[in-house]
A and B are shown apart, each in its own frame.
Chain A
Amino acid sequence: MNVRKKRNVVLHLHEPIDALCATRSHSMVAVAGRNILKVFGLKDDRFEPKLDLRKSKQKLFFSGSVSWSPLKENWIASSSTTGTVNLWDLETQNYVSLSHNEPHFRSHKAVTTKVCFHEFNENLLVSGSKDGTIWLYDTRLAEPVQFFSASQESIRDIQFGLDSAMEDLFVVADDSGSVRFWDIKKGDRPLREFRASPTIVFSVALNPQGDSKSLIATGGRDKFIRVWDWSKVNPDICYSVETMASVGRVVWCPDNNWHVASCFNMTDNSIHIWDIRRPYLPYAAFNDHNQLCTDISWSKGSSADKFVSCGKDGLLVLHYMENAHRPIQYANNVALDYGSTCDEVVFAVPSRMGFPMDRRSNDPFGRKQPSFLYTANPKDPFIATSQNIVFLAKNYKLLGDSVEELCDHNAIIAEQIGEEHVAYTWRMIGLLCTQSDIASNRPKLKSDSHQHHSPSADLKKDDHRRSGGVGQSSDEEDRLNSVNNELLLTGTIPQSVQQSLATSADFFFGLSELNLDGLMFGGSNEMMISRSCSRLSLVSSVDIMKLKEEAFDSLDEADEDSDQEEELLDDLDDENQESNRDKDNEISVYPGAGTLPTWDSLPMLKTALEYYSNRGDVQTCASICLVIGEKITKLIPENQVELWIFSYLEILERLNLWNTSALIIKLCYRPRINQLSNESTFVKIYCKKCKTTSMSASPKCRKCKQNYYLCCICEAIVKIGIWVECPDCGHGGHQFHIEQWFSKFNHCPVAMCNCECRPIINKGMKRDASGSSFKRLLV
């Protein structure tokens, strides 16, 4: 059956409302503000205007509290800024008519902040004031009958006992955070007193339910609603609810032992209903007010599904529980994240999970529900584990030998971890490539393949230097990073950078532009570098100096044995021949690879790649593309190839496989990927004198105007060529001068510098293994 929803009733009064109170039967409600004091009849679907107690422009001096006598439906008490309590008679609609002066109680020396009627005696009411005093009045008497005071702090809230057993009790909250229980007959000291909050307590509420009447809720500036059992001498916190903002008012919901409604007097306009057993997640929320909500009053008895609230925005709202926003509907019970690597799932489930049947009947607000957090690995033959990816990434050979050899090698690698299918694919690709010219245009960087074969050797070398150098940073990531840098920098600078360097003039190397042609960067000319460098004929007394300890590791090697150089030259010739051959017969096949390539095998290759792509195995896709080389783009859109490689690079990065990732970036034939190695690569210049760093390309320090490159021997600026310096004392100069000097001396050429720049090298010791070597910089 479709029951029509009861809609919230909203009435706009155009005046800020500070307080409201309802009759015990909830048939009428009085609202009060600085310029307003009205009474409305409460119907299910509307507010009926009954009385306007403010006559013309009469001043109300209203100060924030109004109370309806629970026994006499025509009496309302309101607080006033003058320190009085005004008692209104609704029948005559005037507080004056009850008696001319008598209902005006003027006892407080400051603003009255709270008035409250006795629940069982129609004549009694108490009022609290900013000066910390509380007075008990008998409406039949002109003078207050009892005085209570325990502190100088402003009174914030007062409530009379709701039960006949404690009818003469009332509870008071004040700015000091204390809550005190008083007996109306005992004005000398409170019955009970406890500290409910370190700061102001704005509101207290006694639980109206018979069986938990010893509970009292307090709400204050510290954003907590706390529930205390005050039957004990030293009340302790039973529950505490952490709310969003400073709590302005707390009210128990009459139909539920555990529910507390609250509104805030700062930052938040909503009304929340909390289940005190689940202290973080509101049970329900109402967002009908546009400004701060100031007061709440619940219906009692059978119609406990609604309440009235008022706010600074002048709205008087009748809320129905069925219109509540329930945050639990938005609460995700199970946290779930597919981890950054391929085979890890993180999930958190509520601790009481496991009994779905129970769960439905259980109140989700019955208690806190801490979660258990797990990490798990899906075990499935179709999901690549990160272990496997790491193994393959580290051991795949992507470059160097012929395609067939690479494919064979990779097939064996894949077999080692049981990836039979991938191994089979590699074998097949090896065969297909011999049948076609698809793999003929592969990048040929012989010197790179040397590094690729022994990444571990690189690591060791790097380690060695580090330990001999600055510190013993054993942090793995750090080390990997440095290796990464090195790999990046030792690589050939790709064509694109060369271009960008040449075109962008703001990058300045010393006094003249970097002569790229002369230095032979780029392309496949790495061996040219080594050759040209070796032709610099460095005198043996000076160690081969490293270019800012980065590049030219290959240079060292090349210089070491000139045999290799010859080999390289031969290789180069070979390659030229080979590429010439390729050009000559573009379509034909290699001699000896069979004479009848009658069917086109390339679609198979495409199918294989698509298969792995759909399976999400970008590792296989990217590796195949790299092995086959640039001509794969005739088969597969280059966009797609790039995407595979990009994705593979991302996986490698996530797995901290910096070596492999850097290698792929370096080897890749796609310029967009190659460019990655230039991202966030920059040179900073360090001034030895004033110890500042600068990104500017000027040869002079910006701060101290000192020229960076003054030869310490001839005292001229090192203009073009190579600047040589001692890494210990930093003194240096023209390469020629330094070489000359150190052929005679071991100490630093600068007077007063006691540095032993040239350590005595033991015979038989390898040059580049020496601890201290000269740094060389291109200037």
Chain B
Amino acid sequence: MVSISARIETGHRDIVHDAQMNYYGTRLATCSSDHLVKIFEVKPNGQSYPMAELVGHDGPVWQINWAHPKYDNVLASCSHDRKAIVWKEINGKWQKVYEYNQHDASINSIAWAPHQFGLIFACCSTDNSISIIEFQQDIWKPTKIFNAHDQGCNAISWAPAKTSKSLIDPQERMEPKRLVSAGNDRLVKIWKEEGPDNWVLEVELEGHNDWVRDVAWAQSESQTLSTIASCGLDKRVIIWRCADLNEKKWTSRVLTVFDEVVWHVSWSLCATVLAISGADNKVSLWQERLPNEWSKISDTDDDSRYDKV
């Protein structure tokens, strides 16, 4: 069961493509086809108030992402207009602090790296490339992975920051940064940073037989297993698992085959629940009750319930 707790009037004039809660769950950012990014304050009682309207994109805004609060209130957005914009709240006013425009086509996805790595975001575009932009000494420094996916790259997600201890080196070290990307070449690819600004392809995961729409790396630091969920036009959701990233042995498991194209996957905070949405406009939640046994725990059915709210 899912109980609808509130309906928020966004005032967007067209489809809302993405909605993201901030770290504390106190603010909600939305972005829409109407070129706008909006920020709402959400009270614990479910009421929400519009806070800001961010104007700067010239096309439908596909995705938004909040940075970790240790970098203050920072939001990144990406759009069909080939721009990625970083917004920051300075003295209560939202301002554009950085605009990245080195892609030749629509930027489809944007994601902040785990905060332990610093203020870094990655975005990927229909022009096949992925950009990783790091904020260092007051400068945004981009690195690009060219030809990451043939025919365009649709989604991107960061691996959680983990530390590792090797037998030789007792000093604890951060695992290198890793990214997972999904593209129209039906592949899910894992990228690893080897040395500064040098990203190499680590693994190619084959399993989808149509465009891969979305990919999400479970942001759970507490689990030793690495888990990735991906979904695509082939109506499948695949869970990829790996015990040791360095061994590069990934197992795949098709969660289920849906009746409709699957658009979006999203993990819960502890990576125990997976939310999936598809072209039928349904949202379903899945949980792994037993190892590798996924069961649907709730479903927002498309009945008239929404209208009653």
A residues in contact (CB < 8 Å) with B? 223, 242-245, 268, 278-282, 287, 325, 327, 330-342, 344-350, 353-356, 359, 368-380, 382-383, 613-618, 621, 639-640, 643-644, 646-647, 650-651, 653-656, 672
Q: What CA separation (Å) do A341 and B21 show in the bound complex?
A: 9
Given A353-B281, A378-B2: A656 and B224 interface contact (C-beta under 8 Å): no
Tell me which of B88-96, B234-242, B246-254, B282-290 binds A.
B282-290
Q: What CA separation (Å) do A338 and B269 show in the bound complex?
A: 7
Q: What CA separation (Å) do A616 and B268 show in the bound complex?
A: 10
A536–chain B nearest beta-carbon distance, Å: 39
B126 contacts partner chain A, Cβ-Cβ < 8 Å: yes
Q: What CA separation (Å) do A618 and B269 show in the bound complex?
A: 11
Q: What CA separation (Å) do A341 and B24 show in the bound complex?
A: 8
The answer on a CB contact under 8 Å between A244 and B81 is yes
CB-based nearest B residue for A672: B172
Q: What CA separation (Å) do A639 and B63 show in the bound complex?
A: 34
The answer on a CB contact under 8 Å between A371 and B283 is no
Closest 10 CB pairs of A and B: A616-B272, A616-B270, A371-B16, A348-B16, A334-B277, A244-B58, A353-B281, A280-B33, A335-B19, A340-B25
Given A331-B62, A334-B283, A373-B16: A339 and B21 interface contact (C-beta under 8 Å): yes
The answer on a CB contact under 8 Å between B8 and A374 is yes
Residue of B58, B283, B285, B303 ringed by the most chain A CB atoms within 10 A: B283
The answer on a CB contact under 8 Å between B13 and A353 is no
Q: What CA separation (Å) do A379 and B1 show in the bound complex?
A: 5
Q: What CA separation (Å) do A37 and B287 show in the bound complex?
A: 67
Residue of A340, A617, A621 ringed by the most chain B CB atoms within 10 A: A340
The answer on a CB contact under 8 Å between B266 and A338 is yes
Chain A residues within an 8 Å CB radius of B277: 334, 336, 347
Apart from the given pairs A380-B1, A616-B223, 13 other A-B contacts in the complex at a CB distance below 8 Å: A280-B35, A281-B15, A337-B266, A341-B25, A347-B277, A350-B15, A354-B303, A356-B281, A376-B300, A378-B285, A616-B270, A650-B221, A650-B269
Q: Mark B197-208, 1 if CB is under 8 A from A, else 0.
A: 000000000000
B12 contacts partner chain A, Cβ-Cβ < 8 Å: yes
Tell me which of B103-111, B129-137, B186-194 binds A.
B103-111
Residue of B10, B12, B25, B172 ringed by the most chain A CB atoms within 10 A: B25
B273 contacts partner chain A, Cβ-Cβ < 8 Å: yes
Chain A residues within an 8 Å CB radius of B87: none
Chain A residues within an 8 Å CB radius of B24: 340, 653-656
The answer on a CB contact under 8 Å between B281 and A354 is yes
The answer on a CB contact under 8 Å between B28 and A223 is no
A683–chain B nearest beta-carbon distance, Å: 20
Would you mind naming 26 contact pairs between A and B with Cβ atoms under 8 Å apart? A244-B58, A268-B81, A279-B14, A280-B35, A330-B106, A332-B18, A334-B277, A334-B278, A335-B16, A335-B264, A337-B19, A338-B273, A341-B25, A344-B5, A346-B21, A350-B281, A370-B14, A370-B15, A375-B4, A383-B268, A613-B223, A616-B220, A639-B165, A643-B222, A647-B220, A654-B23
Q: Mark B26-48, 1 if CB is under 8 A from A, else 0.
A: 00101011110000001000100
Chain B residues within an 8 Å CB radius of A646: 221-222
The answer on a CB contact under 8 Å between A378 and B58 is no
Q: Mark B41-66, 1 if CB is under 8 A from A, else 0.
A: 01000100000000000111011000
CB-based nearest A residue for B165: A639
Our pick among A344, A618, A672 for the contact of B25 (Cβ within 8 Å) is A344
Q: What CA separation (Å) do A335 and B18 show in the bound complex?
A: 4
Our pick among B14, B35, B46 for the contact of A375 (Cβ within 8 Å) is B46
B196 contacts partner chain A, Cβ-Cβ < 8 Å: no
The answer on a CB contact under 8 Å between B306 and A354 is yes
The answer on a CB contact under 8 Å between B58 and A371 is no
The answer on a CB contact under 8 Å between A338 and B268 is yes
The answer on a CB contact under 8 Å between B270 and A331 is no
B168 contacts partner chain A, Cβ-Cβ < 8 Å: no
Chain A residues within an 8 Å CB radius of B102: none
The answer on a CB contact under 8 Å between B302 and A353 is yes
The answer on a CB contact under 8 Å between A615 and B272 is yes
Q: What CA separation (Å) do A334 and B213 show in the bound complex?
A: 13
The answer on a CB contact under 8 Å between B281 and A344 is no
The answer on a CB contact under 8 Å between A347 and B19 is yes
B6 contacts partner chain A, Cβ-Cβ < 8 Å: yes
B170 contacts partner chain A, Cβ-Cβ < 8 Å: no
Q: What CA separation (Å) do A656 and B10 show in the bound complex?
A: 26
The answer on a CB contact under 8 Å between B25 and A280 is no
Our pick among B13, B28, B271 for the contact of A346 (Cβ within 8 Å) is B28
B110–chain A nearest beta-carbon distance, Å: 13
The answer on a CB contact under 8 Å between B2 and A376 is yes
Q: What CA separation (Å) do A242 and B55 show in the bound complex?
A: 13
The answer on a CB contact under 8 Å between B80 and A327 is yes
The answer on a CB contact under 8 Å between A342 and B270 is yes
Chain B residues within an 8 Å CB radius of A278: 14, 33
Chain A residues within an 8 Å CB radius of B12: 370-371
A651–chain B nearest beta-carbon distance, Å: 7
A676–chain B nearest beta-carbon distance, Å: 12
Chain B residues within an 8 Å CB radius of A621: 222
The answer on a CB contact under 8 Å between B28 and A371 is no
CB-based nearest A residue for B289: A382
Given A331-B17, A382-B297: A374 and B309 interface contact (C-beta under 8 Å): yes
CB-based nearest B residue for A344: B25
Q: What CA separation (Å) do A738 and B224 show in the bound complex?
A: 60
Q: What CA separation (Å) do A368 and B80 show in the bound complex?
A: 17
The answer on a CB contact under 8 Å between B14 and A374 is no
The answer on a CB contact under 8 Å between A281 and B14 is yes
Chain B residues within an 8 Å CB radius of A368: 13-14
B99 contacts partner chain A, Cβ-Cβ < 8 Å: no
B20 contacts partner chain A, Cβ-Cβ < 8 Å: yes
B154 contacts partner chain A, Cβ-Cβ < 8 Å: yes
Q: What CA separation (Å) do A371 and B12 show in the bound complex?
A: 7
Q: What CA separation (Å) do A744 and B126 show in the bound complex?
A: 81
The answer on a CB contact under 8 Å between B263 and A333 is yes
The answer on a CB contact under 8 Å between B4 and A376 is yes
Given A278-B14, A639-B165: A330 and B126 interface contact (C-beta under 8 Å): yes
B171 contacts partner chain A, Cβ-Cβ < 8 Å: no
Our pick among B3, B7, B154 for the contact of A330 (Cβ within 8 Å) is B154
Our pick among A280, A349, A379 for the contact of B298 (Cβ within 8 Å) is A379
Q: What CA separation (Å) do A283 and B33 show in the bound complex?
A: 12
Q: What CA separation (Å) do A382 and B288 show in the bound complex?
A: 10
Given A330-B62, A621-B222: A373 and B22 interface contact (C-beta under 8 Å): no
Chain B residues within an 8 Å CB radius of A371: 10, 12, 15-16, 32
Given A338-B268, A375-B5, A643-B221: A345 and B15 interface contact (C-beta under 8 Å): no
B147 contacts partner chain A, Cβ-Cβ < 8 Å: no
Q: What CA separation (Å) do A282 and B46 show in the bound complex?
A: 35
Q: What CA separation (Å) do A334 and B214 show in the bound complex?
A: 12
The answer on a CB contact under 8 Å between B264 and A332 is yes
